[in-house]
Each structure stands twice: as structure tokens, then as C-alpha cells.
Amino acid sequence: MGKEIKFSLVYRDMWQSSGKYQPRLDQLVKIAPLIIEMGCFARVETNGGAFEQVNLLYGENPNKAVRAFTKPFNEVGIQTHMLDRGLNGLRMYPVPADVRKLMYKVKKAQGVDITRIFCGLNDVRNIIPSIKYANEAGMIPQATLCITSSPVHTVEYYAGIADQLIAAGAPEICLKDMAGIGRPVFLGKLVKAIKDKHPEIIIQYHGHSGPGLSMASILEVCKNGADIIDVGMEPMAWGKVHPDVISVQAMLKDAGFKVPEINMVAYMKARSMTQSFIDDFLGYFMDGTNKYTSSLLLGCGLPGGMMGSMMADLKGVHAGINMILRSKNEPELSIDELLVKLFDEVAYVWPKLGYPPLVTPFSQYVKNVALMNVMSLVKGEPRWSMIDTNTWGMILGKSGKLPGELDPEIIALAKEKGFEFTTDDPQKYYPDQLDEYRKEMDENGWEYGEDDEELFELAMHDRQYRDYKSGVAKQRFMADLAKARDAEMTKGGMSAEDILKVKRAKYTPIEAPVKGQVIWEIDVVEESRGPVVGKEYKRGDHFCYITTMWGEHFEVLASFDGRVVEVCAKQGDTVMKGDVLAYIEQ
């Protein structure tokens, strides 16, 4: 029997690469026992990256979700891991050092074993402090190499970075092939170079399926000494996500590796349950293009998880670009032609910006510059007319050192604008802030939470946390969900009347018992009138009053337990008997 290969299920990233949202706490608790029952996973990615932020966006406490999801895995000895963006922590922009340090204390207490630390620029100055913080907190720091394919990203380049990270105390190295564009032979050579020098180091490979190289890459890294492979599972495997564990297991078993067996009964149950989460609400926010691989990704190098947002951007500017072209008597562009034009522009822009690996947030920066350039060129304006502040921060060195050299054109443009380049440690520009957040929590009477986890959440995602605490996030999400559901039904050719019938079948209507004027009570959360979308009611709870034409105040009670998903009558509206006041999801 050959070398043993272990599997890690990237459940968080499966969702992150497929759509906007993660499962709710109640869904995570339901799926965990089935993942365990499958019997083939040594590790599960439970949180990190955008997990906490996404939970806040729909009004759920992410700390409770992390604790509940990690607990069953901890109890059976399956390691849990999270994604950490180094200098950026769990968000898209830099984090003060005291907040970064607190994150490890919190995550260890919440049951997370391993932190996968990466810097989009592979700058060790952004990774090494996190290795230290993780070790101090008792977590396993898995230092990460962001893989891309360019003239400057050689085996020697990556192996040299791995040497520094291992010397700083990292017992594991992850090859994060976020766009799936790492060439298989190259990846095999890189694994061998690290293993030859550091045979004791655990190497984990994370490769997306995007352009279709992932299975060949998995085989090559395993042949050259990799220890753990990240896998997905249906119904969200493949496409822009990850290869399915069944296919990976079959390939490696045939190649002579020792791989774990899969409990297929549990797999099918987990597959079905995951689909039920998609059907419940998550599928309304998943872009259909993420189900497909695309060889075009090899040319631009963009990660598959960005395709959904990029297509949304393109659709948003498509009509405007064609309007400009029509005004100039030039042929209009189809959406596919515009996509190819954008891919070509990314390929043009990327080397001029110093070859930053195209991973969050730098993939977004490069894509945005390319999109703005395309729009400028269509208008007859020069390139580089619109570069945002965050992208300039990357260019000037405030995010770390770029792997390649900036084009002289970009350097000249920066000097023309009076900008200064820096080689300082990026953390210098982001001073400690925890005392400010403690003051805010004290003023609001908010609890710091178990192990200071609520303080951490405010400090890491301040805007989203405030919206969560006020109830605005839940209200906004439920409104978006109602709109998305209506749009989906409209897209399917349903009339407004048909949509109404579906709602009546799926949700419980609260109907007006008499004709009259709706009187809602004032909601203190939003200082607005009417029930907050997402608010929960118990059978018999007061819902509203209806004032009849005779001046009688008729009290309407909730007839079922559930939460409000849509409010149909505004304050003061006149309704007929039987009109729907709101819909409740039981």
C-alpha cells in the first residue's frame, strides 16, 4: 500500500465559491453528524474568510454558529480549520495587530484547531505575525502559498517563502490554488522541493476546479509527497468549486495511495441535505455560471469564486457600454464579447501591476482596474483613469511587497498624483483599536461575550455588527430574500397572480378579518411603523389593529408560530376582508 492521503472537506468554501451566503446555524448543526458519519474526513473547514461577515449580513450571530458547528467535530477528533487573510484577518481590508491577536484567542476557544494564514501578495511580513499569534493561542498555524502562474512565480520563489514560514514556526504549508490555474507538473515540483528540505512538514493542497486542471494537480502533488487534499462534495462540487471526494478517492486509490473509505449512505444523505439548504434560500443567491468550468480562466487567472460577481458587474455596465458604442456608430458588443475583452484587459493589466496573485482582495483590485479600463477605452479615454484608493494602497506598498516590478507607466502616474511608495511593514499603517471598540460596547451596554467573542466581532466587522445588533441586517436580508424569490418566479414566466398563489401555498398569510384601516405599532428598532421582516411571532401574539369604518379597533392576532418574510400592507392602508397583511414562514 502506498502513502496515506487524508481528505479535508471545505464546507465553508463550497458555499463561498458558489454564492453569497452560508448556511444558517440550524442547518450547520444538522449537516455536521452526516459529515462525520461519512467517515472519510480528517479535517473540515468550518469557518473563516467571509463566514462571520456573511452570517452577520443576514442577521445571525456568527460566534454561536462557529461554536455549534465545530463542537461535534471536536468531540470525535476531526480537526477543524478556518481561513485567515493575514494582515486582513477575516475581512477585505487591513486589521490592527491587537484585533488580529484577539482573533486567535477567540477562535481557539470556539473550537477551531487550525488557521490557514495567507497573504494575497505572499509577503511573509503579513503572515509571520499570525503564525506567532496562532502558536501563542494554542492553534496550529498553517502557512499558505497563494499559487498563480507568471514569470516571477517560480518553484524557487515559492520554496524560498516556504523556508521563511517554516523557520517562523509553521508546522504545515498549504498550496492555495485559488483559481485552479497552477500547472500540475509545476505544483508537483514545488511539493517535492519543500518535502525534500522539510520532510516533517505537512503539506495540504487546495485547488479549485475552475479551468479543469484540478484532478491532474491533485495526482501530481500526491505523487510528490502531499499529505492532505481539500475536496468538495455534491451538489456543489466541480464548476468553480472543488473536485468531489468520490472522484478524488477513486483516482488516488487506483494510483496506489492509501485513502479512507466513504460511507455512501451518509454521503447521499449529506448530499440531499445540502441540496435542501440550496432549495430553502441559499440557491436564490448562487450564480448559475459557478456550476461550470471554463478554460478561459487560464488566460486571466481570476479565481472561480469571483465569476459570479464579475458577471454581475458586466451585466451592470453592458447596456451603458453599448449605448456609448451606438452613439459613436460602432458595433455593439454581446455579453460574451465583453467578457473576452475583460479577460484580455486583465491579462494586460496584471503584469503592469506587479503580478499580485489573484486572490482576495487583490483579484478584486485587478478585476476592477481592468473593468474601468475597458469602460474608459470605450469612451475614448486613456487607461488608468479610474483606480480606487484600495488599489493604490496595493500599488504603493501599503499592503505588502508586490512579487514583480511595477510598469514605469504606473510609477509615473503615481508620482504625477503626488503619491509616495513605501517599503515599511504594512502593519505600521493600522494602529491598535480594541480600546475604541471596548468604549463603544460599554456605551451601548453590549456584552463582550464569552472569551471576548462579541468584542472581536465588532472590531473585525464593525459596520455589519452594528447592523446585526440593531436588527437592520435581518430586515434587509429578509427583504432581499423576498425580492429574490419573486424575481425567480417572474423569470420562470409566472404572473403576479401566480406568484401570489405560490406564496399562499408556501407561506402562511396573516389575513385581514374585516375591512378597514391598518394600524401598526411603532417598531423601536427601526423607528418605523410595521413589523420588522424577520421578526418572530408565536400563535396568539398581537400583530396589528384594523380600524373599521365605524371606528372599532379590531385586534389581529398571529394565527401561527413563525417569522415575517414579507409585509404587504403599509401603515394606514385600507384593506378588504381577506387581504393579506403579511406572510409568515413557519
The tens digit of pLDDT for each residue in 140-165 reads 999 999 999 999 999 999 999 999 99
Find all residues with CB under 8 Å of 480, minimum gap 6, and list them. Answer: none
492 DSSP assignment: T
Q: Would you say 358 and 148 are in contact if contact means Cβ atoms under 8 Å apart?
A: yes
Q: What is the rounded CA–CA span in Å between residue 428 and residue 502?
A: 56
All three cell numbers of 403: 512579487
Compute φ and ψ for 281, nearest 5 degrees. Answer: -160, -25
565 DSSP assignment: E
Cα-Cα end-to-end distance for the chain: 53
Beta bridge partners of residue 546, listed in sequence order = 518, 554
Domain 506-585 has CATH 1.20.1260.10: no
Residues of the chain with pLDDT under 50: 523-528
Q: Would you say 49 and 13 are in contact if contact means Cβ atoms under 8 Å apart?
A: yes
**Among residues 238, 347, 255, 171, which one has the least CA distance to residue 14?**
238
The whole-model pTM stands at: 0.83
Beta-carbon neighbour count of residue 505 at 10 Å? 7
Upper half-sphere CA count for residue 123 (Cβ side, 13 Å): 25
Q: How large is the C-alpha radius of gyration of the chain?
A: 26
What CA–CA distances, in Å, run from 112 to 69, 77, 302, 578? 10, 12, 29, 51
**Among residues 462, 479, 474, 446, which one has the least CA distance to residue 536?**
474
DSSP per-residue string spanning 335-374: HHHHHHHHHHHHHHHHHHTT---S-TTHHHHHHHHHHHHH
Q: Which helix (H) or strand (E) holds 536?
A: strand 536-537
Per residue in 396-428, pLDDT (tens digit) is 999 999 999 999 999 999 999 999 999 999 999
Range list for CATH 2.40.50.100 in the chain: 506-585
